[in-house]
């Protein structure tokens, strides 16, 4: 399928660095590094693509490569970058910009690598299309768990992106593990379940040809069947496709939109349509900001080999990993917060209602506040909370990121306290000070 351009010189350096990494892995870590990573059980060399073995359950014998930047943040986000057919983890590393952007923003990148002869990910078998089914998604989940355990990663900020076969796997990962992945970005892929086969074949010609058509409900049901009974939030999805794709035909793009809008429970009618680059058409569903529940970018005149130059940065903005970019966006014109607590002995529950008092819709939000001394959050709903004491940031769930003008969302948390059970008294929404009532 897609063959992303490699970086030859960098590949040579990468090979040399891998040899060096193997040697470093057998040597004791410097005292300073050990002190800085007291939580790390098996750290890898920084700023070096490194293969990790023995990372956990791996039924299809995938290989795991990981890139940890020198400036990795505390409790970092995790990005899984999935390669195309005939590619590999190192090819994905060399052919995309996710590692250099990790150097800037401090997240960790996992590059899964197929060992079967086709070098394509399994997105076809019944095992692949079921949570814990015993194929590639299980091994990738193990890679995420390894990074989460060894780097105390933020499990609320795990993302997947892929190209071609990797894009199909991105769809599969978000369907199988909606409780693991917060969002995905798929370049030239197909919907979850579209490539399904029952005869052991890895290829589905009807799907690749764009002739597998379902209703939004049918597509959504395929996703929901991967994890029966799951009722939690669903990952956001960003979709990219060229109109002249002759490998995975363009109709698959529309079918993906139908699927993920249904999964998200939002309208198939775009909330916003624009053209951020000449010959691009971008539609957003369920919200108008950079972190809408579903975002789809149609690339006029582009074939299967999407030029990835510069696109990784747009993926990070959608994920919210670009700290210098407009994420979450847009900034609100005003906000109001009402917070109450109900306390007992050493515990309390808090209810927080956030109202957008501005004239512009908010497409993604982070609510900042400081807990009174002695309070520690033990669980929460409607948002993810980090850290759990002191200055806290509550980040929207996938289903409540869009707040229309004059609309409200209510979130809450449970906390322990040592005597002060008051609610926080000051809040900021995406950096803007809110009024409190």
Residue 164 annotated as catalytic: yes
Helix residue ranges, H only, 121-202 = 136-151, 165-176
Contacts of 197 by beta carbon, 8 Å cutoff, 6+ apart: 124, 125, 203, 204
For residues 414 and 371, give the distance between their C-alpha atoms in angstroms, rounded to a whole number: 12
For residues 88 and 90, give the distance between their C-alpha atoms in angstroms, rounded to a whole number: 5
- Specify the DSSP class assigned to residue 26: T
CB 272 within 8 Å of CB 291: no
- Please give the backbone phi and psi of residue 364, each rounded to the nearest 5 degrees, phi first: 180, 140
CB 406 within 8 Å of CB 355: yes
Beta bridge partners of 376: 416
For residues 268 and 23, give the distance between their C-alpha atoms in angstroms, rounded to a whole number: 53
Contacts of 273 by beta carbon, 8 Å cutoff, 6+ apart: 281, 282, 283, 284
- Catalytic-labelled residue, pool 60, 113, 124, 164: 164
DSSP 3-state assignment of 408? strand
Residue 213 belongs to what H/E stretch? Answer: none
For residues 119 and 133, give the distance between their C-alpha atoms in angstroms, rounded to a whole number: 20
- The residues annotated as belonging to the active site are 164
């Amino acid at each position: 399928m897609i063959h992303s351009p490699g970086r030859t010189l960098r590949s040579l350096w990468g090979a040399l660095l891998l040899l060096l990494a193997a040697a470093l892995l057998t040597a004791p870590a410097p005292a300073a590094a050990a002190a800085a990573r007291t939580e790390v059980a098996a750290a890898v060399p920084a700023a070096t693509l490194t293969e990790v073995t023995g990372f956990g359950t791996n039924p299809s014998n995938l290989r795991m490569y990981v890139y940890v930047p020198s400036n990795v943040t505390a409790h970092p986000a995790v990005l899984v970058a999935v390669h195309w057919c005939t590619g590999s983890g190192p090819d994905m590393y060399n052919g995309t910009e996710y590692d250099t952007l990790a150097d800037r923003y401090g997240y960790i990148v996992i590059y899964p690598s197929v060992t079967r002869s086709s070098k394509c990910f399994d997105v076809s078998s019944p095992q692949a299309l079921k949570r814990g089914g015993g194929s590639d998604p299980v091994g990738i989940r193990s890679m995420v768990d390894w990074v989460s355990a060894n780097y105390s990663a933020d499990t609320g900020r795990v993302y997947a992106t892929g190209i071609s076969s990797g894009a199909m796997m991105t769809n599969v990962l978000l369907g199988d593990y909606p409780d693991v992945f917060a969002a995905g970005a798929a370049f030239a892929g197909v919907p979850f379940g579209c490539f399904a086969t029952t005869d052991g074949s890895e290829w589905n010609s009807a799907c690749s040809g764009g002739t597998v058509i379902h209703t939004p409900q049918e597509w959504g049901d395929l996703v929901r069947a991967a994890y029966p009974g799951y009722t939690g939030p669903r990952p956001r999805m960003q979709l990219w496709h060229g109109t002249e794709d002759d490998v995975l035909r363009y109709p698959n793009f529309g079918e993906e939109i139908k699927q993920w809008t249904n999964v998200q429970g939002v309208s198939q009618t775009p909330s916003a349509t624009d053209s951020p680059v000449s010959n691009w058409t971008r539609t957003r569903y369920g919200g108008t900001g950079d972190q809408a529940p579903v975002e789809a970018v149609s690339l006029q005149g582009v074939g299967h080999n999407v030029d990835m130059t510069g696109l990784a940065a747009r993926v990070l903005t959608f994920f919210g990993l670009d700290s210098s970019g407009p994420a979450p966006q847009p900034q609100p014109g005003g906000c109001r917060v009402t917070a109450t607590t109900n306390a007992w002995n050493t515990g309390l529950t808090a209810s927080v209602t956030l109202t957008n008092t501005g004239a512009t819709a908010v497409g993604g939000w982070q609510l900042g506040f400081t807990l009174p001394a002695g309070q520690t959050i033990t669980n929460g709903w409607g948002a993810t909370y980090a850290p759990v004491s002191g200055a806290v940031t509550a980040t929207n769930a996938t289903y409540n990121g869009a707040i229309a003008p004059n609309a409200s969302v209510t979130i809450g948390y449970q906390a322990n306290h040592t005597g002060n059970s008051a609610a926080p008294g000051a809040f900021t929404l995406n950096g803007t000070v809110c009024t409190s009532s």
